[in-house]
Structure 1
Amino acid sequence: MTKATVLVIGSNATQIELKGGGSAAIGQYLNETVVPSMALLDAGYDIVLATPAGTKMHIDEASDSAQHFGGDEAAHARANAFYADDPTMNQVRTLRSVIDGGLDRFAGVFVPGGHAPVVDLMQDEDMGTILRHFHDAAKPTALLCHGPVAITAAMPRAREFRAALVTGNGEAAAAIAKGWIYTGYQATVFSVSEEQWAEDNLFHAKLPFYMPDALQLSGAKVTTNPVDWAPNVVIDRELITGQNMASDHLLAAKLIEALDSWLAKE
């Protein structure tokens, strides 16, 4: 018998726009998706995977490497096998269908990173509905690396907010964000210096905005570890955010602690 069910939300985005024109290939990060998912299952939780389109996420090629598993080739192989073959990663629902089926059955929600959530999840209406439900119920809400930017979807005008970020209109973005449910929350997210490394080494171009700026303009209180690629997790009320891909195990542990605590109160 399982303890409870956790909703895991992925992105369907495969391209991100670049400053000055063009786009770059993106996806979800392998370790950020499977390490917390496997930890939840090992801890006795069921998981349900959902995406906007109800189709499986694309894994960013940059993440398909043993370096994101501490150099452990066996762990990397297990991760690939889990993502390819485990039923939880292949029985994908749409966000709308899980809403229609009732969100009360979920004890918490988890959003992995990679750049993909920056494209679709942060402006998805169904994502916003889900976030507002978990916020109102004070249920654990965990997001990793670029995933924390998805909480901007809880704004009524999330699509306009993202458009303002892309055009560099911070004043308009801040005005659109007024009344956001996570205003004043402490959070972390992929840092500017980490993103600049990605711009220089992966994209060879600039992204239209940085993640800490997006959350700060929303009204969150953002802190990032000055040491790039070091694990960092920030917890404020129900919100659990991890800074980068190296925070996968730590975020998973903190999410499981929060779920266990929430269930103990029920």
Structure 2
Amino acid sequence: MTKKVVIICTSADKIGDPPEPTGCWAEEVVAPYRVWQKHGYSVTIASIKGGEVPMDEVSLAPPYATKEVEDFLLDDEAMKGLMESTPLSAISAADYDAFFLAGGHGTVVDFPNDPTLIALLEAAAAAGKVISAVCHGPEGLVNVKGPDGKPLVAGKCLTCFSDKEEYAVAKEKLVPFLLESKLRELGARYESAKDNWAPHVVADHKLVTGQNPASSAGVAKLVVEVLSS
């Protein structure tokens, strides 16, 4: 049976006060999309509000736009998923095998406290589905409870955009909290690569996470391994 994965994106296009443009980070959608497509998976792109996914313009230009991103932008069928994303309210945990939270700084605005996202991920966790995320995508996990009523991330080995990387991009004052620190407070067993920007992926049973944009494809490949096990 064909595996079904949903990529969940932010709908926020601004961050901070005064606001700065932001959105979803292109590589974090494109790399997993292509990995799962090559494995014959059915891939749906969803977002908090549905419709056009706001993309961080920085991620669409050199040096951050990979060849895969450039090709994706010219692929009308693939781009339709970003231009006409499914509203998260139309996504059911029962319909998918895996859930993936794409990053980008827009997630700090609408992922942590969105009730629809929280309810979806709690239902997915209760059903034993694979939950995955990369970079700032784990913003969507901070208020999610596991079947035991404790934070989903408590006691789990995971990674995300590190506090050091947040300071390196000088956005530490724009975000409501430092994600690594928040996950540690919730009881997560955080780990990261030794160097900023180096790829790092972690699987703890059915929770799969990646540290930064360079980890996007690695997360997707690890999801394939978990779904195949």
TM-score normalized by the length of structure 2: 0.89
Superimposed CA distance per residue, residues 158-182 of structure 1 (whole angstroms, 9 cap, x where no aligned partner): xxxxxxxxxxxxxxxxxxxx83233
Q: Does 1:232 align with 2:200?
A: yes
The answer to whether 1:47 aligns with 2:43 is yes
Taking a change above 3 Å as real, the CA distance of residues 229 and 107 of structure 1, as seen in their structure-2 partners, is: same
Q: Which SS does the other structure have where 1:67 is aligned?
A: coil
Indicate which of 35, 45, 62 corresponds to 2:31.
35
Q: Alignment partner of 1:122: what SS?
A: coil
| Map of 2:73 onto structure 1 | 80
Q: Tell me which of 53, 59, 63 is aligned to 1:57.
A: 53
Identity %: 26
Q: In the superposition, relative to structure 1, how do residues 153 and 127 fare at CA in structure 2: closer, same or farther (>3 Å)?
A: farther
Deviations along 1:178-234, one digit per CA (max 9) or x if unpaired, are 8323311111010111111111xxx59553421101111222121222211000001
Quote the residue 2:167 is aligned against: 196
The correspondence for 1:97, drawn from 90, 98, 120, is: 90
Q: Deviations over 1:119-160 (max 9, x none)?
A: 10111111111111221122211100010121124159xxxx
Aligned residue among 139, 142, 153 for 1:182: 153
- Name segments (4+ residues, structure 1) moved above 4 Å: 203-206
The 2-side partners of 1:207 and 1:151 are apart by 16
Residue in 1 that maps onto 2:5: 6
For 1:95, the aligned partner's letter is L
Gap change, CA 1:151 and 1:45, over 3 Å in 2:
same
Greater displacement, 240-249 / 178-187:
178-187
- Cα distance between partner residues in 2 of 1:53 and 1:7: 15
The residue aligned with 1:207 is 175
Residues 96, 232 of structure 1: alpha-carbon distance in 2 compared, 3 angstrom cutoff? same
What's the secondary structure of 2:64's corresponding residue? helix
**Would the alpha carbon gap of residues 120 and 42 (structure 1) be closer, same or farther in structure 2, given more than 3 Å must change?**
same
What is the CA deviation profile of residues 32-54 of structure 1, one whole-angstrom value per residue up to 9, with x for unaligned ones? 11110121111100112221211
Long gaps (5+) in structure 2: none
Distance 2:69 2:153 in 1: 35
Answer with 1 or 2: which has the greater Rg. 1
Matches of 2:197 and 2:14 in 1, distance apart?
A: 24
Which one has the bigger helix percentage? Answer: 1
CA deviation after TM superposition for structure 1 residue 236, in Å: 0.7
- In the alignment of these two chains, the number of paired residues is 227
RMSD of the alignment, in Å? 2.3
Stretches of structure 1 that go unaligned for 5 or more consecutive residues are 157-177, 262-266
